[in-house]
Amino acid sequence: MSSEHSYAIGDRVIVDPAIASARHRGVVYRVTRLLPVNVVVEPDGGGRTMRINPSYLRPAPDANNTNTGATAAVTGVERVPYETPLDQGTLVTVAGPGWKQPAGELYVVLRDNGTGKVSLVKLGGNNGRYWRGVSRRLVTVVDPARLRLDPIPAT
């Protein structure tokens, strides 16, 4: 996935809330180095640097904020309205930053505890492989009325 933004040294960014872990959520970073593929970012108020693909970054929401602390007024932007957990067996597609499987494939929900993360398995199976902790924001429910089942041809 290519980045929608080109970043320069000194730009203020956040990790995309759809893929951010709890420790990165709400932290404003400043780009310190540009590498051939990734960028190096450092928390705005100082701290440990992180190497990250720029496609996982978004511009900080308030570029004029003079707060130099590591957490700025970003938390209000990240609030996601409550979503009812998906039922087990719901058919979905997955796409977005961090999802490396081909787009358009169908998956079945194994578990959704309402924490914003779901567990999925590929429809038809994949040698026992399944995905845990997929962000609910990357998941799109497939309307069952759009499905068409073709009969298996008789041999």
Q: Which pLDDT belongs to residue 5?
A: 62
Confidence of residue 88 (pLDDT cuts 50, 70, 90): very high
Element (H, E) at 76: helix 75-78
Query: What is the tens place of the pLDDT at every residue in 45-84?
Result: 888 999 998 988 989 887 554 444 444 444 444 455 567 8
pLDDT, the chain, mean: 81
117 DSSP β-pair partners: 135
- What is the model's pLDDT at position 75? 45
pLDDT above 70 as % of the chain: 83
Separation CA 22–CA 103 (nearest Å)? 26
Condensed to tens digits (0 to 9), the pLDDT of residues 107-139 reads 999 999 888 889 999 998 888 899 998 888 889
Under a CB-based contact definition with an 8 Å cutoff, are residues 96 and 138 in contact? yes
DSSP letters along 88-101, please?
A: TT-EEEE-STT--S
Q: Please give the Cα distance from 10 to 30 (Å, whole number).
A: 6
Q: Residue 26: what residue type?
A: G
pLDDT at residue number 128: 87
